[in-house]
């Protein structure tokens, strides 16, 4: 029992490290660069993540196999699509932080798991349970409240949730592992990132100031390190535990936005968030219900072939 406990404790440490970076360090880091264009920040996140991605694959001994994926047109096309989605997600996230709309970004990551359930129902024919359907309905009410009081759709929240959800859906179709997939995506995005720096970014801050230059270079590792920690933690923890822990990211983000960045949080936003939090509570309860062990007669039927075995495996992909 002791080795298993040690593995779980290590997995929890890895996961908490990833979520702390995503929910606290990342927004503070981006806020310190709020005078830099989001386009330039995202471009540097991509460019400086490439050397680290190569180093990781070299250390894992899978660099040669990763390069071979560029010869598969289907894999390359899917990776290009997922790369486009995740770079758009990164851009909107950075824009939300530097434009004092981190609360809306937090809302997007709160409703993301429910968007995943809806996408799975539409595209994968995975019928949501009654509790999950109720959770989706409550989340929709919360978004409606925000829409009515703001006088328009909370587009940052919806773009972040839908782009991240669609990314996860398509990422399942790319037949590569977490590290190789990240490598493919950042390499594919390198050329657009360089073009963005030279032609689209309104100003260039790289090499004009020592601190800014160091922070822009550091944006690559800040992007890649939590992904590595998350992947390591996901392999050592139950997937349900990983799913519940992911709520730490928007929770830390909304607390950072309110108490550190000084963003307003109105009573109507509280009402909308209350619907979202209720939806997440119901959704989380439904996950625990699915993990409940079967009764002895059910186990006996499964062993005899009368009842199919239930799979609890899940994807270990996440991006922010």
Q: What is the pLDDT of residues 3-30, one digit of tens each?
A: 555 557 888 898 899 999 989 999 999 9
Q: 180-204 as b/e, with b when 16 or more CB fall inside 10 Å?
A: bbbbbbbbbbbebbeebbeeebeee
Q: Over the stretch 70-106, which tens digit does the pLDDT of each residue have?
A: 999 999 999 999 999 999 999 999 999 999 999 999 9
Measured distance CA(239)–CA(224) in Å, rounded: 21
Of 78-82, 100-104, 177-181, 189-193, the least confident = 177-181
Domain ranges of the chain: 2-291
Nearest alpha carbon to residue 225 among 56, 28, 7, 66: 56
The whole-angstrom separation of Cα 90 and Cα 92 is 6
For 112-142, the pLDDT digits (tens) are: 888 888 888 888 888 888 888 898 899 889 8
Contact 151, 73 (CB under 8 A): no
How far apart are the C-alpha atoms of 76 and 218, rounded to whole Å? Answer: 27
The reported pLDDT for the residue numbered 5 is 58
Task: Enter the tokens of residue 251.
Answer: 């929770």
b (16+ CB within 10 A) / e for 261-291? bebeeeeebeebbebbbbbbebbbebbeeee
- The pLDDT assigned to 315 comes to 40
pTM across the whole model:
0.80
Q: What is the pLDDT of residue 49?
A: 92
Which letter does DSSP use for residue 70 in this model? G
Cα dist from 118 to 85, 86, 143, whole Å: 18, 19, 15
pLDDT tens digits along 135-168: 889 988 988 988 888 777 889 999 999 998 899 8
Q: Cβ(104)–Cβ(154) under 8 Å?
A: yes
Q: What is the pLDDT of residues 256-303, one digit of tens each?
A: 999 999 999 989 889 999 999 999 899 888 877 655 554 444 444 443
């Amino acid at each position: 029992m002791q080795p298993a406990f040690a593995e779980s404790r290590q997995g929890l440490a890895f996961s908490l490290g990833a979520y702390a970076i995503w929910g606290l360090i990342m927004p503070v880091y981006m806020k310190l660069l709020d005078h830099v264009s989001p386009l330039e920040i995202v471009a540097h996140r991509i460019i400086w993540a490439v050397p680290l991605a190569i180093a990781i694959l070299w250390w894992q001994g899978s660099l040669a196999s990763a390069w071979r994926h560029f010869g598969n047109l289907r894999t390359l096309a899917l990776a290009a699509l997922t790369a486009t989605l995740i770079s758009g997600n990164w851009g909107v996230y950075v824009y939300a932080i530097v434009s004092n709309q981190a609360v809306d970004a937090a809302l997007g990551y709160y409703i993301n798991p429910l968007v995943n359930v809806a996408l799975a129902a539409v595209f994968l024919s995975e019928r949501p349970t009654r509790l999950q359907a109720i959770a989706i309905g409550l989340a929709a009410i919360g978004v409606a409240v925000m829409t009515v009081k703001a006088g328009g759709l909370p587009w940052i929240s919806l773009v972040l949730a839908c782009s991240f959800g669609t990314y996860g859906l398509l990422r399942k179709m790319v037949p590569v592992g977490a590290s190789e997939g990240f490598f493919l995506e950042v390499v594919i995005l390198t050329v657009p990132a360089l073009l963005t720096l030279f032609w689209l970014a309104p100003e260039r801050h790289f090499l004009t100031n020592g601190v800014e230059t160091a922070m822009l270079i550091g944006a690559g590792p800040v992007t890649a390190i939590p992904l590595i920690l998350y992947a390591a933690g996901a392999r050592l923890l139950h997937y349900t535990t990983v799913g519940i822990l992911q709520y730490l990211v928007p929770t830390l983000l909304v607390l950072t936005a309110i108490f550190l960045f000084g963003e307003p949080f109105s009573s109507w936003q509280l009402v909308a968030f209350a619907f979202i939090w209720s939806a997440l509570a119901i959704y989380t309860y439904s996950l625990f219900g699915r993990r409940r062990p079967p009764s002895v007669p059910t186990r006996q039927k499964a062993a005899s072939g009368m009842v199919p075995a239930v799979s609890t495996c899940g994807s270990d992909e996440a991006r922010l």
